[in-house]
Structure 1
Amino acid sequence: MKNILLIPALLLCAGSLAQGKDRPLFVRDSLFQTLSERWEIDPEHYLGNFRITPYKPTYIVLTRWTSDTNRQPASFNPDYVAESPLDLNATELRFQISFKTKIIRSFLLRNLDLWVAYTQKSHWQVYNAETSRPFRETNYEPELILNYGMRVPVLGFDLRMAGLSFTHQSNGRSLPLSRSWNRIIFHLAMERENWQVTLRPWIRIPDSDDENPLIEDYYGRMEGIVTRQLGNHLITLEGTHSLRFGPDNRGSLRLGWVFPIDGFLRGHIEVFEGYGETLIDYNHRQFTIGLGLSLVEWR
C-alpha cells in the first residue's frame, strides 16, 4: 500500500520540477484535444519529458446512486469473502484523478515513447454519518506505457497510435476485502473530426494467489471508448466485454454527458450498468446514476 501511494507523489514532484514556474500542471490550450495533443505525437505538440499531463478523466461525482449496494463483497476465492454485511448507503461520492508523464522519447524506435501513468478512483460514503463516512473502496492503478505514434487511414478514420502497457490495479486492502490483478493491455486509438475511438484488449498475468477468480468473465477482456464532441458538449460511451457468449456474455456500459459550466469546469452526468465498477465489485452487477463536475475528460 505504501509503495503504491509513493508513485503519484514521485510523479508529481518530478513533473513539477520539470515544468517550471511559468507552466501550470495539466496545461491545456483548448477545451477538447486531439490524440496528438494528448500524447505528443506530432512535432508541434512535443512538450518534453517529465511534464505532468492528463491521462484518464479527472472528476468528482458528487452523488452516485446504485440500484444494488454490494454490502457483502464475495470473491470466487473463498478466502476473500466478507464475513458479515457492511453498513453501506446506496448513495455516495466518487472521484478520480489521473495523470501521466513521458520519461523517454524515441525509445528504441523513432516514434515510440515510454510513459508512466497513475490513476486513482475512490468511492466515499460521505453521506453515511452513522458509520463515520468511510471510504468504501479506492482503486490504485500505476502503469508503464509504450506508445507508438502514426497516421494510417482506417475506415475513414486516422489511426494515430498503438502500443501496450503493463498495468497493476489493486485496492490496497487486507483479507478478506483485498483485490488486485496485473495485466498487459494493448491499445489502438483513432480519430475523425469530432470522433475518437480507442480499443484496449488485455491479457491477465496469472497470480499465485488469485484474489478475483474469473474476473475476465465478469469485468471483461477488452475495453472500448468512443467519444463524440458536439460543440462544447462531449458524449462518451465506455464498454467492457468478456469476449464470450452464452452464460459468460458479460461486461459493462457507461454512458456519459459532459457539458460546459465555466472555463474548463464542466458538468458530468453518467449512467452505468454491468459488472466491475470497482475491483471489490468485479462480479457484482448493478445500475448506477451519477452527477458531478469534471476537469479532464477522454479528449
Structure 2
Amino acid sequence: MLKYVKTIFLSAALFANYVQAQTSEQDACYLEAIKQAKKETQIAEIVSQCEDESEHEPPGALSERIEAERETFFNPYVITPHKMNYILPVSYTSGFNDKLDIPADVRESARNIEAKFQISFKVPLNQEPIFTDGDALFFGLTMQSWWQLYTTEMSKPFRETNYQPEIFYYLPVNWQLLDTNTSLAFGLEHQSNGRSLPYSRSWNRIYLAVLVEDDHWALTLRPWWRLPESKDKDIDDPNRDDNPDIAQYMGYFELSGAYRIDQNMQGHFLVRQNFNYSRGAVELGFTFPLWGRVTGYLQYFNGYGESLIDYNYAQQRIGLGIALTSLL
C-alpha cells in the first residue's frame, strides 16, 4: 500500500508541475518519466533527469551558436563572427565583367585564378533585453576581397573589395511548426565597393529575415526592398545611382541554408532569383576537417552578383581554402 501511495503522490506532484507550465518541454519529459518510472523512483530523480536533458539539448543548431556567442558578447578580447570567415588561396573564375571600359593592358594582365577571402563580424549594441528575452540589436560588417595574387604583369592588386555594413534587430519567436524553432531579423544594409566613378557600385536595402532551425540544420528566407536613389543626376555626380538595374540581377530575396553533419563538416547553399528577368545565382559550400581546428572549405558559385563590379555579369567560380568560422 505504501508503494502505491508513493506512486500517487509522485504522479500528483509531477502533474501539478505540468499544469503550471504545460507548454514547456520539461513537462513532456515529466509525463514520459511517470510512465516509465519504477515504484521506488524518487521525485527528485525525475526532476533532476529532466532538468539535465533540458540543459544539454539546445533548441536548434542556430540557437546553439547564439547561446555560445552570448557568453563572450562583451568580452573585449573576443570578436564575434557574423557570416562565414574564410580564405580561398586558389579561386578560379570563368571570366570578368567585359562591359567595363578597362585599359587593355590591365584586362590582359588579370588572371582567372586569384585569391578570395571574406571577413565578417558583429557587435551587440544592448546588454539587457529591448522588448523581450533573447532579442538583440547588432552592428555587423562583412568584407569580401578578390586578390590578383598570381599575376606577374601587375603588382598583385586587389581587383575588387566589397564592404557591407548593416544594423539589424534579432527577435526569437515562439513558432514551432513541425518541431522547428523560428526567429526573425529586421535590418538596414549598405553595400559598396568603395571606388570612384566610373567603377563605383553601391546600394542600400532593408530586409526581413525568417530563420527556421532544427537540431542539425537552419534555413533563412531574406526578402528585401531597395531604397531608391536618384537616377536624374549627371553621370559624373557621385550622388547618382551607380547601378539602377542591380535588382534585375540580384533579385529581391535570397534563400540560404546550412546542414551540420558534425562539428567540422557542414554543407550550405544560397540562392538569389529575379523571376521576372530569369536571373539569379546559386552558391554551394562544404567544410571538412583537415587537422586540429583547421577546417577545409570548398566553394562553388554560378550566376550574377558574385561581386558588385560583376553584378551584371554571369560567371562560374570554384575556390578551395580554409574556413576560419562556420555558419552553425
Partner of 1:291: 320
**SS of the residue 2:173 aligns to:** strand
Question: Which residue, 120, 124, 133 being the options, matches 2:147?
Answer: 124
Indicate how the Cα distance of structure 1 residues 267 and 83 shifts in structure 2: closer, same or farther if over 3 A, else same: closer
Counterpart residue number, 2:271:
239
Q: TM-score, normalised by structure 2?
A: 0.72
What is the aligned partner in structure 2 of residue 98 from structure 1? 120
Q: Structure 1 pair 48/270, CA: closer, same or farther in 2 (3 Å)?
A: closer
1:225 aligns with 2:252: no
Alpha-carbon distance, 1:226 to partner: 1.2
Change (3 A) 1:91 1:83: closer
Give the drift of 1:219. 1.4
Aligned equivalents of 1:145, 1:125: Cα separation in 2: 33
Per the alignment, residue 244 of structure 2 pairs with 213
Cα deviation 1:123-145 (Å, max 9, x = unaligned): 00010121111100000111111
Whether the aligned pair in 1 keeps the contact of 2:73 and 2:123 (CA below 8 Å) is no
**Greater displacement, 102-111 / 227-236:** 102-111
Q: Which has the larger radius of gyration?
A: 2
Q: C-alpha separation between the residues in 2 aligned to 1:201 and 1:270?
A: 23
Tell me, yes or no, if the aligned pair for 1:38 and 1:54 is still in contact at 8 Å: no
Q: Which has the higher contact order (CA 8 A, sep 6+)?
A: 1
Check whether the contact 1:140–1:170 (CA below 8 A) recurs between aligned residues.
Answer: yes
Identity %: 39
Partner of 2:156, secondary structure, is: coil
1:163 Cα deviation from its structure 2 partner: 1.8
Alignment-mate amino acid for residue 197 of structure 1: L
TM-score w.r.t. structure 1 length? Answer: 0.79
Question: How many residues get paired?
Answer: 253
CA shift digits 1:158-217 (9 cap, x unpaired): 21x102111111110011111011110211111112111111111101122211122111
Note if 1:35 corresponds to 2:57: no
Shift of 1:49: 4.3
Take 2:195 and 2:121, find their aligned partners in 1: how far apart are those partners?
23
The residue correspondences of 1:10-21 to structure 2 (distance < 5 A) are none
Unmatched runs of 5 consecutive residues or more in structure 2 = 1-59, 231-239
Relative to 1, partners in 2 of residues 1:135 and 1:238: Cα closer, same or farther, differing over 3 Å? same
Indicate if the aligned counterparts of 1:124 and 1:133 stay in contact, CA closer than 8 A. Answer: yes
Matched, 1:141 2:164: yes
d(CA) in 2 for partners of 1:154 and 1:282? 36
Mapped contact 2:265–2:288 kept (Cα < 8 A): yes
> For 1:84-103, what per-residue CA distance to the aligned partner results, in whole angstroms no more than 9, with x for missing partners?
44331111000011000111
Gaps of 5+ in 1: 1-32, 75-81
Conserved? CA contact 2:222–2:254, under 8 Å: yes
Question: Paired residue for 2:7?
Answer: none
SS in structure 2 of the partner of residue 268 of structure 1: strand
Distance in 2 separating the partners of 1:264 and 1:164: 33
What root-mean-square deviation, in Å, do the aligned CA atoms of Structure 1 and Structure 2 show? 2.1
State the match for 1:55 in structure 2: 82
CA distance in 2, matches of 1:229, 1:113: 25
Task: Provide the secondary structure at the position in 2 that maps to 1:69.
Answer: coil
Please list the CA deviations of residues 94-131 of structure 1 after superposition, one character each: whole Å capped at 9, or x if unmatched.
00110001111422444431110111100000101211
| Residues 61 and 216, structure 2, Cα contact 8 Å, conserved in 1 | no
Q: Distance in 1 between matches of 2:192 and 2:162?
A: 6
Distance in 2 of aligned mates of 1:267 and 1:109: 38
Say whether the 8 Å CA contact 1:119–1:142 is kept in structure 2. yes
The aligned amino acid for 2:156 is R
What does 1:168-187 correspond to in 2, within 5 Å? Answer: 168-187=190-209
Aligned-pair CA distance for 1:251: 0.8
The structure richer in helix per residue is: 2
Structure 1 residue aligned with 2:93, among 54, 66, 76?
66
CA pair 73-154 structure 1, distance change in 2 beyond 3 A: farther
Q: Is the 8 A contact 1:73 1:281 kept in 2?
A: no
The answer for the alignment partner of 2:283 in structure 1 is: 254
User: What letter matches 2:316 in structure 1?
Assistant: F
- The whole-number CA distance in structure 1 between the counterparts of 2:297 and 2:72 is 29
* 1:198 paired to 2:198: no
Structure number with the higher strand fraction is 1
Q: Which amino acid counterpart does residue 273 of structure 2 have in structure 1?
A: H
